[in-house]
Structure 1
Amino acid sequence: MAHGFTIEGVECMAGCARPLTVAFQAPGKASYLFGSIDAEAKAGDLVRFARLYASLADGWCNSGQRPPRLAGKTLARIPGPAKIAGDSR
């Protein structure tokens, strides 16, 4: 796992129709929500995404940068504060 990540369980992420939801969030970064994850088949993809996410200053990436098996599992990408404020970087 990427350095500085914490894994924690939460009671609900409103993904009941897409069991095994996983979110990535960090201060000042875009957040991601993935759903319908096959725990064993996708574990490596989640670790790869964690490393990518850690390397991105604002957390922003397009679907082509994410591990291919997660591309169709992306439920949401929520812009970080700079993107919401209109920063075009």
Structure 2
Amino acid sequence: MSVPTLTLCRTCRDADPALPGQVAAALERAGIAAHLTQVDCMSGCQRPQTLAVRQSGKTAYLFGEISAGDLPDVLTFLRLYARSADGNFADARPLGKLRFKAIARIPG
């Protein structure tokens, strides 16, 4: 079974260098399996710091303006994403403020 890949932009202006470690720790505490990577520029520069979530066969997402304060909503997203066969959600309200931070949704 595949797990989602989370990719954080490390070159966004004002990127929080502590965020990758905070994401990794939150995933571990929550018992959520995922690959966490960092890349240079994902072209979400108007809404830094960007986070991509993708998994084979599922819709991929790009979120902007991610901070440590968003981690509870990111974890909720990942739990729902894991339960979804195709990565889509009938109701985004459980995602809290994260639903307003979506930049793109790419069908899988």
Structures share a fold, TM > 0.5? yes
So what's the TM-score if we normalise by structure 2?
A: 0.65
1:26 counterpart (55, 59, 66):
55
The within-5 A match list for 1:1-89 is 1=27, 2-3=32-33, 5-37=34-66, 39-62=67-90, 64-80=92-108
Tell me the CA shift for residue 64 of structure 1.
Answer: 2.3
Gaps of at least 5 residues in structure 1 are 81-89
Tell me the CA shift for residue 55 of structure 1.
Answer: 1.3
Percent of counterpart pairs with the same letter? 41
Gaps of at least 5 residues in structure 2 are 1-26
More strand by share: 2
**Higher RCO (CA-CA < 8 Å; seq separation 6+):** 1
Whole-angstrom distance in 2 between the partners of 1:23 and 1:63:
20
Change beyond 3 A, Cα 1:22–1:64: same
So what's the TM-score if we normalise by structure 1?
A: 0.78
Runs of 4+ residues over 6 Å off in structure 1: none
